[in-house]
Amino acid sequence: MANEDHLALLQKGKDVWNTWRTKEISIIPDLHGADLRGLDLEGANLTKADLRGTDFRKADLRFVNFSGADLSESDFNRAHLLCANLRIARLHKADLRRTDLSLADLSGGRPQRSAPQPGASPPHGSPRRQPQQGRP
């Protein structure tokens, strides 16, 4: 679960939080599994934070910096992420239904690729690899 000290700082507001982040630059915030439903976190610095499984439903996340954060399995249903920085953030299995991502920066992400199934056809337009023959 989330680090209680980190959670208490964030709940004091973005100004207190961002000041702490500036002073404690080497600490990676641990807020995984936190209930942040409906909070106003506009402009918060959540860079590289552990936010796995966090509940952000209906939260105001405009201009939040999530760059490099782990947001896997987090719930953003009906959250406002207008102009949020999600560069290289991990969003694996995050719920983004009815989420406002207007002008959000989602660049730099790496798609998850599953291993091809044996005997599966290659994607359309991809050449099928021929088995290599033994060299003479």
Q: Is residue 33 within 8 Å of residue 12, measured between CB atoms?
A: no
pLDDT at 126: 45
pLDDT at 108: 81
| Distance, CA of 53 to CA of 128 (rounded, Å) | 39
Residue, of 81 and 122, whose pLDDT is higher: 81
* Token couple for 42: 């506009």
Domains parsed from the chain with CATH numbers: 1-109 (2.160.20.80)
Write the pLDDT tens digit of every residue in 7-62. Answer: 999 999 999 999 999 999 999 999 999 999 999 999 999 999 999 999 999 999 99
Angstrom CA distances, 11 to 7, 35, 38, 70, 76, stand at 6, 11, 12, 20, 18
Write the pLDDT tens digit of every residue in 96-136. Answer: 999 999 999 999 865 555 445 555 555 454 444 555 555 55
| Distance, CA of 122 to CA of 110 (rounded, Å) | 20
